[in-house]
Structure 1
Amino acid sequence: MALVRRVNNSFGFVLNTFYCKCIVNIKKLKRESNIMRYSNLAGAEILEDYQTFAQMIKFRQTEAKKSVIIKISEVSHIEHLKQFCECYARIVNIFPYNTIDNNRFVLMECSSDKDVEALRKIAVCKASPEYAHCVTPFFLYKPRFKLHINQKTLNKDNYEYYSNFETPNLDEINQSLKKIESVSNQMMFLYNALRITELNIRLRFYTATQISYYLSQLFINLSVVPFGSSVNGFGQIGCDLDLLCKTNISSDDKSGWKKFLFMTQVIPLVDRNEQKHFLDVVGTIMRTCIPGITDVKKILEARVPIIKFRNLYTNMQCDLSSTNMTALHMSELLYLYGQLDRRVKPLVFTIRKWARNMNLTKENPGQWITNFSLTLLILFYLQTKDILPSLTSIKIFSDKSNTIDNFDWFLKWKNTVSSNDESLSKLLCEFFEYYSFFDFKTQGLCLRDGITKVKKDVSPLYIYNPFNPSLNVSKNVTISELLRLVEHFQRAFHIMVYSTEKDTLVKLINFDLNLTINNGFNNKNKSEFINEKFIPNVTDTNNLQKMEKNIIK
């Protein structure tokens, strides 16, 4: 009877919430429907701008190979440096920036890699007989005489100067959000304020190219490529740079000779011990030979062995792993989903900002939900709304279109399945509602098929790995963290229903304000809101508590 009462109370709360939502927010939703319509956002007008993941990676790698980074001592030297370099190379773009230790650099993009070679040829090295000097792809510009720059010819306004790449603080964000009337437009502002800048993207690919520059001298078929947030479209300012060593199949067969070959030392990279040995060697090379690399830490006993390091010249905190191709495929999938509908990225950015401010996600791994798992929750929810296709649908419709290199297959899917043009505000509200009453006890999320499936084990939160359905990508999340997550989902839903249009997002992303507003919510019996039928219980299995203690990190 007690359980029945709890279910009835929850059902009553849902009905009451739906009623309040209709009464309080009907004007809001009607106004937003006129402000932001998305029916054509995945249509033909963006076909010309669409790049596949492979095309994007190749474009950025080519861009990095055409670029150089030059250290300068004064901002006033930029114009003089440009004039000097133009005597030897064609300059396309200049991006001045400060690093976290207040050193000044210029990322200079040339017209071609031949221009980069021309600059390398004129550079000299002031070598000392007491040291061995490593050749680097970085340069230092030191004018022979003190420059007396005419301020009228300096043209500082031609350059946008970047300093430390810091995320806007919460007060600055709040002040800007208060000036915007629509929740959907507030979400768009948040996305534009937090996303990785153009310079940041260039520096990430330059960092990967720099590591490749050295390792390719020893390993002829090895390159270093970014993956994760740096390339999937969901990266925020300040996020780490994830790198992996990718082995390439050589296509160099210009002469056709098969009898005269390089002798090579083969280094196997298949099993975990082999990868650990390889990364151990690479870590030593990086610490010894690559300038700007500091704080090198070999974390070889982790589930995925990595090398952590910081690049002082590009302002990047990096993690380097060995041949983790599944992670690269996952990055491609998220990149594709982010390209298919322009609502996806603002929604993901808003929810991830909310989760970090509520302390639901953290910088270090642990028993809490990760940004990656949270993003999969959002993408699955959008699949249930027929905004994004499942992997199975992608295969079916791309097979019909005989291509996945453009939007043809997606337009066919959309015309067949989806006509969803709901506003960002409505999607955000219904996301919190969806997971407030989700059956986490028995159901797992399957993005491969776009449906819920019965969980394969007793993990509190179960998200099937899209590329390996036998694995749960959220196995680290414990019962206590899932309960906390659901409670915050319901608080957020409560805020969206009862807040005015202009205050909604500010209330969502401010922790103290969130708790104050929801004081009445917290004082109620949780059983009225969190249906125990849908939450795993520690008595479900004798091994569940052991699972919490032996969490996968």
Structure 2
Amino acid sequence: MRVNFTSFQSIFLSHAYIFENFDSLLTKRRCQAERSIVVEVPSVNSLDHVLHSCCAIGQVSSLFHYTTFNKYVNKHKEMLLVEFSEPISAREMMLYCPTSSSACLPVRSPFFQYHDQRTSPAPLRQSQSLSTDNLNRQEQVEKQKIFRENLLSDKDLKQSIFSCNSISEQMKLFYDKTKLTDLGSRLRFLTCRQVEVALAGPLPHLSALPFGSSVNGFGHCLSDLDMVMQLEHSELVRACPEWAESFVLQNASDTAFGQQRVSSTRFLELVADVLRSTSPGCTQIVKVLKARVPIVKYHQQLTGLDCDLSINNWSGLYMSELLYQYSALDARVAPLLFCLRLWAKEAQLTSQHPGRWITNFSITTLALYYLISLRILPPFELLKKHARPEDARVAENSLDCSYLRSLSRIAALHSPPKATRSLTLEDLLLGFFSFYDEFDFRKHGLTIIYGKTFIKPDSSAMYIQNPLDGSLNVSRNVTLEEVERFSMAVTRALHSLHQDAPQSVRLVSNSSPSVINPQSASRNIQSPVAEGKYFSELKLSSASKNSNRKSSKSNEHKRSLKISMKSRK
């Protein structure tokens, strides 16, 4: 039995109008971070006192309660994220609140501790304009807005997925329960805000922006945070008054900053020292300065995030924007990608460590190419062709990253065929495995720029063209052995979907045929421990629900997908 996804698919055409453009998303989240602080509280019983004190400072817009865990001291911390209605309230807290007695430097940041041990709430400041009655009424309203985010445990998630009627429902549920949440996004932008505040003295116009999974629409709730620092606003240069052209700021006398590569590494060394000395919660700071893109890695204990901080890595940000647009154009893209990434992880095709294996970005590009071949998504060439003057962007090394950045215009230019609108997530998952089960990686490469294959220009085992820089192969590190393992994993997953006894098929299982981990062959490396077998022992369909899918029907669907892709070519 298949679930009717007609109502779910009816929003596809208007989906782009619901989602906001990437720049608007960044602006909104950064404004939220400027109005927000994080308070460590002794216990959940202190929330009322903290709330009363915050309301005495300014009007509170929203509150989020969460818990972090410090594995080194085996201790949980109760945290409260407070968003004020105006940024002046957060700035006043950073300006007037005293520093800890153990602090060596009176450093200001958006992270606080609550130490009030009084049994009654703190009194109002004399400068507060709200009356006591109004404040009490506001408190009652704000108490109802405290949002407590509780992620499902592996056991609860398994049980929820077990009750689903189809693979499509399971994929959608897994995406909904593990995607990046509103609180997760707020904490990531507030972590970026901490970097801006720490460097605001010498660099008042510095911007720290998240990129990668934090903003591209494919973020997992446990994803790391990638950040890029912009030292100067281009808008500031364009808005420069005429009198300012007569003056130039003097530079530091260190001549080592003359070369761009040396300048970046020296600056990151300085940033690492600043974070270590002045930024609360920043621990395990490691400088990785000899990488192709130099970064500073650290862990932010107060937000529970592992962070990678770089400078002027704009191609990464613009690639994140492109992926965000693709995820926003069709509601099926992100759930499909979540399932494929889980499949690749459980089959040990990907790893959190760099090396010879396929990356999540390669899996993402393979999925996007498949969806472009079905004309569900537009090729990148269409976005490049219709770029407007306001869409112009230039990344490092003068790389042109100009493409259409209006979701409403993209939706107007590209309309998916009617036949593809009725395809469920299960159909797309089956189609992905069918497509790459027959793809000849030895001979052909692929590109989402044109949505076509081409003869590989070199001997790379897998060739996936970088859409922003066509001269690069995003999978150049992948070895022939890993490509063969990918092909075998695809064949095993396809066999699981095609077998005659669907009631025995499971999405992930160590003891029976499954889509996610169908008796995958291990490789001779130390694989990271999986973060829970979310779909372990979960049946995709059951005999009691009479959910029979015949092999002939699967083969018929496979043939229809082939016809659609051939017509595209």
Normalised TM-score (structure 1): 0.80
Mean CA deviation greater in 263-272 or 177-186: 263-272
Deviation at 1:420, TM superposition (A): 3.9
Segments of 5+ residues of structure 1 without an aligned counterpart are 1-27, 523-553
Alignment RMSD, CA only? 3.2
Q: 1:512 to 1:374 in 2, by over 3 A?
A: farther
Equivalent residue, structure 1, for 2:497: 496
- 1:11-30 mapped onto 2 (5 Å cutoff): 28=1
CA distance in 2, matches of 1:444, 1:433: 17
Equivalent residue, structure 2, for 1:291: 280
Contact 1:99 1:315 survives alignment (8 Å): yes
Contact 1:168 1:193 survives alignment (8 Å): no
Q: Highest relative contact order (Cα 8 Å, sep 6+), 1 or 2?
A: 1
CA distance in 2, matches of 1:186, 1:461: 31
The Cα offsets for residues 430-470 of structure 1, whole Å up to 9 and x where unpaired, read as: 10111111110011111111111111211111100101111
CA distance in 2, matches of 1:318, 1:389: 33
Equivalent residue, structure 2, for 1:245: 229
- 1:295-444 mapped onto 2 (5 Å cutoff): 295-396=284-385, 404-414=405-415, 420-444=421-445
Of all paired residues, the percent bearing the same amino acid is 31
Residue 185 of structure 1: SS of its match in structure 2?
A: helix
CA distance in 1, matches of 2:197, 2:477: 36
Q: 1:320 to 1:513 in 2, by over 3 A?
A: farther
Q: Report whether the alignment pairs 1:229 with 2:213.
A: yes
Q: 1:484 to 1:270 in 2, by over 3 A?
A: farther
CA distance in 2, matches of 1:511, 1:191: 22
CA distance in 1, matches of 2:422, 2:485: 31
Residue 134 of structure 1: SS of its match in structure 2?
A: coil
Mean CA deviation greater in 472-481 or 218-227: 218-227
Contact 1:97 1:104 survives alignment (8 Å): yes
Equivalent pairs, count: 482
Equivalent residue, structure 1, for 2:146: 159
- 1:33-48 mapped onto 2 (5 Å cutoff): 34-36=4-6, 40-44=10-14, 46=15, 48=17
Deviation at 1:335, TM superposition (A): 0.3
Q: Report whether the alignment pairs 1:258 with 2:233.
A: no
The Cα offsets for residues 376-417 of structure 1, whole Å up to 9 and x where unpaired, read as: 111111011110111112234566999742423323321689
CA distance in 1, matches of 2:350, 2:245: 54
Q: 1:174 to 1:47 in 2, by over 3 A?
A: closer
Residue 103 of structure 1: SS of its match in structure 2?
A: strand
Equivalent residue, structure 1, for 2:161: 177
Equivalent residue, structure 2, for 1:113: 87
Q: 1:361 to 1:147 in 2, by over 3 A?
A: farther
Equivalent residue, structure 2, for 1:61: 30
Equivalent residue, structure 2, for 1:199: 183
Equivalent residue, structure 2, for 1:467: 468
Q: 1:192 to 1:109 in 2, by over 3 A?
A: same
- 1:116-155 mapped onto 2 (5 Å cutoff): 116-127=90-101, 131-146=104-119
The Cα offsets for residues 227-269 of structure 1, whole Å up to 9 and x where unpaired, read as: 0000001011211111111232324646844335543439858
CA distance in 2, matches of 1:133, 1:67: 20
- Larger proportion of helix: 1
Contact 1:43 1:411 survives alignment (8 Å): no
CA distance in 2, matches of 1:321, 1:369: 23
Aligned partner of 1:52: which letter? N
Residue 468 of structure 1: SS of its match in structure 2?
A: coil
Equivalent residue, structure 1, for 2:479: 478
CA distance in 2, matches of 1:123, 1:257: 36
Contact 1:298 1:307 survives alignment (8 Å): yes
Q: Report whether the alignment pairs 1:50 with 2:51.
A: no
Residue 349 of structure 1: SS of its match in structure 2?
A: helix
Residue 271 of structure 2: SS of its match in structure 1?
A: helix
Q: Report whether the alignment pairs 1:280 with 2:281.
A: no
Contact 2:17 2:407 survives alignment (8 Å): no
Contact 2:16 2:328 survives alignment (8 Å): no
Aligned partner of 1:467: which letter? L
- Find the partner of 2:63 among 86, 89, 94: 94
The Cα offsets for residues 91-126 of structure 1, whole Å up to 9 and x where unpaired, read as: 011111111221111100110102213333542235
Mean CA deviation greater in 509-518 or 55-64: 509-518
CA distance in 2, matches of 1:421, 1:342: 13
Equivalent residue, structure 2, for 1:78: 47
Aligned partner of 1:447: which letter? I
CA distance in 1, matches of 2:13, 2:313: 34
CA distance in 2, matches of 1:517, 1:372: 18
Q: 1:259 to 1:74 in 2, by over 3 A?
A: same
Q: 1:468 to 1:258 in 2, by over 3 A?
A: closer
CA distance in 2, matches of 1:430, 1:390: 19
Deviation at 1:204, TM superposition (A): 0.4
Aligned partner of 1:123: which letter? C
CA distance in 1, matches of 2:330, 2:426: 15
Q: 1:307 to 1:513 in 2, by over 3 A?
A: farther
Contact 2:447 2:465 survives alignment (8 Å): yes
Q: 1:430 to 1:229 in 2, by over 3 A?
A: same
Residue 71 of structure 1: SS of its match in structure 2?
A: strand
Deviation at 1:310, TM superposition (A): 0.2
Deviation at 1:213, TM superposition (A): 1.1
Residue 99 of structure 1: SS of its match in structure 2?
A: strand
Segments of 5+ residues of structure 2 without an aligned counterpart are 71-75, 122-139, 392-403, 522-569
CA distance in 2, matches of 1:282, 1:329: 24
Contact 1:95 1:159 survives alignment (8 Å): yes
CA distance in 2, matches of 1:517, 1:309: 32
Equivalent residue, structure 2, for 1:16: none
CA distance in 2, matches of 1:63, 1:155: 17
Equivalent residue, structure 2, for 1:190: 174
The Cα offsets for residues 500-550 of structure 1, whole Å up to 9 and x where unpaired, read as: 66765xx2333443479999999xxxxxxxxxxxxxxxxxxxxxxxxxxxx
Q: 1:399 to 1:69 in 2, by over 3 A?
A: closer
Residue 509 of structure 1: SS of its match in structure 2?
A: coil
Mean CA deviation greater in 85-94 or 416-425: 416-425
Contact 1:446 1:463 survives alignment (8 Å): yes
Equivalent residue, structure 1, for 2:507: 508
Contact 1:181 1:502 survives alignment (8 Å): no
Aligned partner of 2:508: which letter? I
CA distance in 1, matches of 2:12, 2:343: 26
Aligned partner of 1:312: which letter? Q
Contact 1:462 1:472 survives alignment (8 Å): yes
Contact 1:69 1:107 survives alignment (8 Å): yes
The Cα offsets for residues 164-212 of structure 1, whole Å up to 9 and x where unpaired, read as: x6x742x443322220102211111010111011111100010011111
Q: 1:157 to 1:503 in 2, by over 3 A?
A: farther
Aligned partner of 2:361: which letter? F
Contact 1:397 1:412 survives alignment (8 Å): no
